[in-house]
Structure 1
Amino acid sequence: MCGPGRREGTEVSAPQETLWQSTIGANTDQRPALDGDTTADVCIVGAGYTGLWAAYYLRRRDPSLDVLVVEANSAGFGASGRNGGWCSALLPQGVQAMARRHGRPAALAMRATMVDTVQEVEDVVRAERIDCDFRRGGTVVVARNPAQLARARAEVAHDQEWDGVDGLQLLDAAQTRERIGVADALGATYTPNCARIQPAKLARGLAQVVERNGARIVEGTRATSVRAGAVETEQGTVRARHVLRATEAWTPALHGHRREVVPVYSLIIATEPLPQAFWAEAGLASGETFSEHRHVIVYGQRTADDRLVFGGRGAPYHYGSAVRPQFDQEPAVFAALQTALVDLFPTVEGAEITHRWGGPLAIARDWHASVGYDPASGLGAAGGYVGDGVSTTNLAGRTLADLVTGNESELTRLPWVGHRSRHWEPEPLRWLGVNAGLRLAQLADAEEARTGRPARLGKVLAALTGH
């Protein structure tokens, strides 16, 4: 872990291969880099989901637009191609926090639009024939001690207070076992608003669709600065009327954006394909994604080829908002994930862990994702998804397309449009604060496992994360 007094840079060289990449094989059709100065109507920096969705909808809104996407590595290299594969209606900011700032109707509109966005992604995947193992089975979040069960009940009651917009249901122990065979589950919450996907397949397929629709993508082209009318890269300058930044966890590497978000790592393990005897007990037969009502976030899915993929937070924030390939590998975190997975599914013990990987996600200071565009300068940006980006990026792409083309719509009136989060504190306060928050979550989980009562630290965490 990098601590105060040591400053790390940012690199984009290849990290450990993910399960997702290994199952689709190497990309033999590497796109060329930018070859000198050029022009475009719209230049998008970053070929992750946000940039690709923005390019897709811009060309649909106005096929005459010359859209160029500039990518430092390859399309889907970052979180878009290495996440846990949840296409959900989740947002990092809570509905109450949105309502306090923007009012109840705006908060409800944002939540309802996120629910609709899961369907929008499915519609595009079907229409464009993108093979990404899309299966809408919802999400089941298990409660395994009384404190977690109390939190599950509170979440369902909270959803009902907000017109049941998330469709959250409380399952008893028997109903939980019908969906997921987790050891000692007392109950669970369930929402239908999530689909399992293979994220690298979605990224690759979407990039191909974007190119078929007439947009350009250049890879191996690292942007060094973004300003009104131009993107400076190591291979040349792109001059464009509209410049959209979709750099997420890599944002602090750009000049002038060091404290805009913090990159925090999430790590994932994957088992070998598991036999049907295991799945007869473990369930997840409808493609449900799963989690647990704990404070340190964990997430999992049953893949199309019957593996368990299981990930979570726990890796440290690195001093100076550093992003490096070696940060994808934290043996202690991988070991903790494997222990937690066996705790959930005891019969998985002894199965081979075939893949271990990770990557950074971006967190804004108030945990509030946002979309912005200034018509005067032509500058726009979206991000701050805190790991909830698979579907949120689709909404961001549609919204950016409307903003750039001047289409006033329900999307451009949503409360995250134009939202500005204050900057993170300078170092070493940033390093101390982010890692202290992680430690608080770990201590809260340990307290609840020991006492069965809601941890007092949980309220502190909720305040820090805007919920």
Structure 2
Amino acid sequence: MKQGQHSSISYWLETCGDNLEPRTQLNESINTDVAILGAGFTGLWTAYYLSLQYPDLNIVVLEKEITGYGASGRNGGWCSPKFPVTPNTAIKRYGLETARNLQLTMIDSVYEVERVIKEEKIDADWALSGSLQVALGEYGTPTLEKSMETYRKLGLEGHFQLLNKDQTKDRVHIPGAKESLFTKPSAVLNPGKLVRQLANVLEKRGVKIYEQTEVTNIIHGSAHKGAKLETRNGSVTADRAIVLAGEAYMTQLPKFRRHLVPMYSLITITEPLNEEQWEAIGWKGRETVGSTRLSLDYMQKTADGRILFGGRGQPYRFASKISSSLDYHEKTHNLLKDRLFQWFPSLKGIRFTHDWGGPVGMTRDWTPNFFYNRQTKVAGAWGFVGQGVSTANLAGRILSDVLLEKDSSLTTLPMFQHQSKKWEPEPFRWAGIRFVQSSLGRIDEKAERTGLAPSGKTLAERLSSH
């Protein structure tokens, strides 16, 4: 992307208040203690906790574009305690106690992000306002009730509340809403402000961030030599470790093509609403809002009074293609706008000011992979499937602990040293993902048309179950 165009990536970066002109490129070969690929949340949080615990550590971050260019500067602005693997599936995979610890750790991650924002005096439009998952018809209520039952089984019912129709309406007026599940420890923010200001904090600590510096090759280390990140104009050799924090963009390196797939999430945002419009829809707080749809939709109320509406829908592209041309998909963006009017009919005629999108990384089993190989000196984390604002913070804490050889209960969590099965080779990957994408959309449409909940037994539902 050309210089001067970075503000067009998303509304978040346009309004982040930071200078988006790229930082210095790497134009030489250097040595350091830790080298990080990617200046998004995963890479920056790792650098943050490393520099916090070991101020004398030399840390270098390499970014292909600019800080926050990827999902960290484009997402829906939720900091949620949700983990990519649902609590019910976590119980089946890991057992009740581990699933409980995992969920509590995710809740702690939300509070940890808030703690750092306050301590570092970061202005990110943060509000710990909770989150609503809404049943837009009777077909959605079984999902919410099953989720609440699972939270009770985990002994976590104090963090969640099932709201009836009237209680839901007290928070936001949505035609046809039957009930909702309120998640208390969930926040809303401008992620562009957070990622950019976090980078500024790190630079003041001495962390060096190179931008417009694409990593072209990764060379493993050994007991006697450091691992290396190679670029077109130089390299960085890290004596302690390199950290791979490129999320979906890791798929553009041949070595990692099948470790995860880039799935596009698209977003549209309105002009600021006036007082009468807010009064009509009754959205008094800044709760994030979503539904039970399998193909996902999500909203937030921005600090300057806009509604952001996002969802899946951009078709998966053959061979895990990522391109700025895919950030806008007319059919899907128009569908998102139509869906906003279904949620809030009184807003018909409102103007939309920004459309954008970007890829999130998904592993074959939906489980994030956090890893560290002491022999090769390679660490990393990926596969957040849209839950990266909180999960990347957790990844940063885990990776910093293992790189500093610190005893930590976090390293007992099931995603550390977990290696997901690789995705199928093409064309099978493309055919399978496109089948699931189109099928889930049809299942949602059928539920809305018939009022009957999805069975959970279709092939697409079983393939996408997590």
TM over 0.5: yes
Q: CA deviation at 1:457?
A: 5.1
Going from structure 1 to structure 2, the CA distance change for 1:273 and 1:217 (only over 3 Å counts) comes to same
Over aligned residues, Cα RMSD in angstroms? 1.8
Aligned to 2:327: 328
Q: Which amino acid aligns with 1:174?
A: D
- TM-score normalized with structure 2 length: 0.95
Superposed CA deviations along residues 248-283 of structure 1, whole A, max 9, x for unmatched, are: 110111131111100010000000000011112323
Q: CA deviation at 1:25?
A: 5.1
Superposed CA deviations along residues 404-423 of structure 1, whole A, max 9, x for unmatched, are: 00002111111111111010
Q: Which amino acid aligns with 2:237?
A: R
Distance in 1 between residues matched to 2:88 and 2:289, nearest whole Å = 24
Aligned to 2:424: 425
5 Å-filtered alignment, 1:234-245, equals 234-241=232-239, 242-245=241-244
Distance in 1 between residues matched to 2:21 and 2:7, nearest whole Å = 19
Paired residue for 1:212, among 204, 212, 223?
204
Q: CA deviation at 1:166?
A: 7.6
Aligned residues: 458
5 Å-filtered alignment, 1:62-141, equals 62-141=54-133
Q: CA deviation at 1:101?
A: 3.4
Q: Which runs of 5+ in 1 are unaligned?
A: 1-9
Distance in 2 between residues matched to 1:462 and 1:448, nearest whole Å = 13
5 Å-filtered alignment, 1:139-178, equals 139-164=131-156, 167-178=159-170
Q: Which amino acid aligns with 1:363?
A: M
Superposed CA deviations along residues 19-46 of structure 1, whole A, max 9, x for unmatched, are: 1122235725531011210111000000
Secondary structure at 1:412 match in 2: helix
1:386 corresponds to 2:385: yes
Q: CA deviation at 1:160?
A: 1.1
Going from structure 1 to structure 2, the CA distance change for 1:405 and 1:39 (only over 3 Å counts) comes to same
Which stretch of structure 1 is more off in the superposition, 200-209 or 28-37? 28-37
Q: CA deviation at 1:76?
A: 0.6
- Work out the percentage of aligned pairs sharing the same amino acid: 37
Q: CA deviation at 1:68?
A: 0.4
Which stretch of structure 1 is more off in the superposition, 155-164 or 286-295? 155-164
Superposed CA deviations along residues 324-383 of structure 1, whole A, max 9, x for unmatched, are: 000001000011000100000111110100000000001000011121111222110101
Secondary structure at 1:264 match in 2: strand
Secondary structure at 2:109 match in 1: helix
1:61 corresponds to 2:59: no
Which stretch of structure 1 is more off in the superposition, 237-246 or 92-101? 92-101
Superposed CA deviations along residues 163-191 of structure 1, whole A, max 9, x for unmatched, are: 12682211111100111111121111111
1:44 corresponds to 2:36: yes
Secondary structure at 1:411 match in 2: helix
Going from structure 1 to structure 2, the CA distance change for 1:95 and 1:186 (only over 3 Å counts) comes to closer
Q: CA deviation at 1:285?
A: 2.2
1:449 corresponds to 2:441: no
Q: Which amino acid aligns with 1:421?
A: S
Distance in 1 between residues matched to 2:322 and 2:6, nearest whole Å = 12
Q: Which runs of 5+ in 2 are unaligned?
A: 221-226
Secondary structure at 1:310 match in 2: strand
Contact 2:28–2:235 at 8 Å: present in 1 too?
Answer: yes
- TM-score normalized with structure 1 length: 0.95
